[in-house]
Chains A and B, each alone.
Chain A
């Protein structure tokens, strides 16, 4: 047996009210989409979703990590290995990237399910994350949202894998070529009539045929859809009732690409009950459907944030200009950071501190330090240390400043001194504006892009208020 043993999600705090793009004031409750902040990308969102998924799970039990995305920033260099390091997973964890396709999330999930079923791995962490961009003020921009979802696959599931079916299709409906920043789309009606609708229906129908159960047997269907209207068409064709269809979150989140269908599945799991039958279907040059049966184990799953918590936590951007700056789409004289790069040698040496956020505990006096020292501040013992993972611990804010000098999409940059595990950790504060800051504020730590010097994302951790 194989199936989903745990789920986690991540939706950025920041939302772009759609009215802003057309120059109108934002209205409370109006349509919006989730947009990654200036210091977030597909990797940082994936890390956050994984952290949520691993709530109450022993990290040393994870045997493999599969990462699906169409917007992972590097063309050559694995994302899964970086995510595994940020999560402080074992060195012998098998890592794979699934890219290029909107179906890469469900593809990674299916690979994980088969690996567990075949006994190749006991526990596989699957994460899908996308941060795609439509051209400014274009139709796609108003539909795409940024989000990540993580699913833990094992033989002891909360949702048992039943069956899957896929179809492939060659159609140039949505694409992005090498070097382009924006996803491009052919005419909407062509995409829906010749691409999305027939393919999704074909995959789902094939799955019904395989399982011998039709739409009436489904409790909930989590279906990829370019927009609400197209989803309605597919729902009618498949004979699904509205209450069987998971909300597509079109006016809250937007279409989050490779993570979208799986995120809707995670959302469905939040309210599912043992015995429920769930279906998930993704789309992209064909379609891919998988079905699951919820087990009794769901009731014992430790609490997590999931999709709902993230949807409720939001901050609307004040201006469209802020969105453009956060995406690097504003016009500037030159990239101030373009000719300054980090040393890859130093980055390699400091990956335990910078990527995994490992502090060190002195084995003589127990004082924790970040970063690791050779000689202990407290007892002056030399070279007696054990690693302490700080990223999954909560801290407290001891001091702060608002820096208007450091280049930022939305100044000021909030710099804070925090205390975690008895050690001092100076970091920036994410997900906060000056009004949110106070002494002794409880914080957690989130993986973020600190800057893009050298034209690449350079990652470290930030603090974030615990809400």
Chain B
């Protein structure tokens, strides 16, 4: 059962709008920019005829599916809208892949978007609609593992800082990223604390943005372009709530453990570190990236800090991670992020990633983890 999706669906077009604080761009602007770039990338000049269904993702949607249909003038066809924390984009992609794989549609559009910067606040809103679980901020949720992990494995804020430095560097090489600024370990360590151990530079940049991709049946891929990329796996897993789970050990995020096991089985991957060429993983906070190295099986539990020190996951390392700067500097419009990773991995697999290109990339993984956190989405793409 778990290998049934492999090689059945192709990614033939990808697009993204400029990510950032898009004060002068509307939600419609961003959706149209991303979708039309994906159309052009797929060689589609009559989307109203070619796109049979849309699978959209947004954490702060407005007007439901109509917002996407109105923006793209795609009427008389199904538009679905997914909203599930940070793995929203990967889940929208998953529905698109399944819809094509089951034979219902030949060609579909996947679009992820969000525009948090219209709310007038920096960072997430502060919730007062309950008394339990406050403060309910993502920084607070994702820092839950810090004290115990540091205590068990001897890691610290300095190790996290190197991850932020790496992603800031990679972001300078991605034209559509939000932040293009090199930083130092010292910058990270002396920044104001948001939620210990996270200082300002340990946190992803909340931004506006949209990303899109066009999916089609694998046997139709070459009719769109010469270098279609194949979907090898796409997996979603929901795990126990880490604030309630009586067995939670504060050393690993279970959603990633579950989803990775399933995704690797689908793709037939047994040695992820050796087999994968490039990885985009969910660096909402630096510690999330550190734990995800281990939770995705890219290294052993407790050894992430050694790989951070030796540069394993840098652009010049053995397995480059977050080649476009990740959530940290490319930006994190929540619903768009999973699709933005499909965009980057597709460029990497085609050899179109410019100065951040990973030589000979043939197998690429993308990963989102969201909620307190409770859900994970993983997609694996590969060249034929």
Contact = CB atoms under 8 A, between A and B. Distances in A.
Nearest to B192: A404
Decide if the interface of chain B is mainly helix, strand, loop or mixed. loop
Nearest to A406: B135
A371 B246 contact: no
Interface in B122-143: 123, 126, 128-135, 137, 139-140, 143
A451 B279 CA distance: 42
Interface size class of A (residues with CB under 8 A): 35 or more
A64 interface: no
B140 A458 contact: no
Contacts of A407: 126
Interface stretch (B37-45, B146-154, B298-306, B311-319): B146-154
A405 B144 contact: no
B60 interface: no
Contacts, number: 110
Interface in A346-391: 346, 350, 353-354, 367-371, 377-378
Given A354-B131, A459-B131, 20 more contacts: A367-B246, A399-B144, A401-B144, A401-B146, A403-B137, A403-B139, A403-B140, A405-B135, A405-B137, A405-B194, A405-B195, A406-B126, A415-B140, A415-B195, A417-B250, A426-B132, A428-B134, A451-B131, A453-B129, A458-B128
B137 to A, nearest CB: 5
17 contacts: A337-B128, A340-B129, A354-B131, A370-B244, A378-B246, A398-B250, A399-B145, A399-B250, A401-B195, A402-B196, A404-B192, A405-B139, A405-B140, A406-B140, A424-B243, A426-B132, A453-B128
Contacts of B192: 404
Residue in A340, A405, A451 with the greatest tally of chain B CB atoms within 10 Å: A405
B126 A434 contact: no
B102 interface: no
B66 to A, nearest CB: 28
Interface in A398-420: 398-407, 412-413, 415, 417
A415 B132 contact: no
Interface of B: 123, 126, 128-135, 137, 139-140, 143-148, 151, 192-197, 240, 243-246, 248, 250
Given A426-B133, A426-B243, A434 B128 contact: no
Nearest to B149: A399
A423 B147 CA distance: 19
A439 interface: yes
A311 interface: no
Instruction: Identify the interface centre among B130, B131, B197, B244: most chain A CB within 10 Å of its CB.
Output: B131
A342 interface: yes
Contact of A342 (B131, B144, B248): B131
A377 B133 CA distance: 19
A424 B244 contact: yes
Q: Which of A343, A377, A459 gathers the greatest number of chain B CB atoms within 10 Å?
A: A377
Contacts of B145: 399
A450 interface: yes
A332 B17 CA distance: 38
A328 interface: no
B193 A451 contact: no
Contacts of A404: 192-195
A402 B193 contact: yes
Given A370-B244, A403-B137, A340 B128 contact: yes
B128 A451 contact: yes
Q: Which 4 pairs between the two chains have the least Cβ-Cβ distance?
A: A406-B135, A453-B128, A460-B131, A402-B196
Given A399-B147, A404-B192, A406-B126, A415 B246 contact: no
A424 B129 contact: no
B233 to A, nearest CB: 28
Contacts of B139: 401, 403, 405
A346 B143 CA distance: 28
Nearest to A428: B134
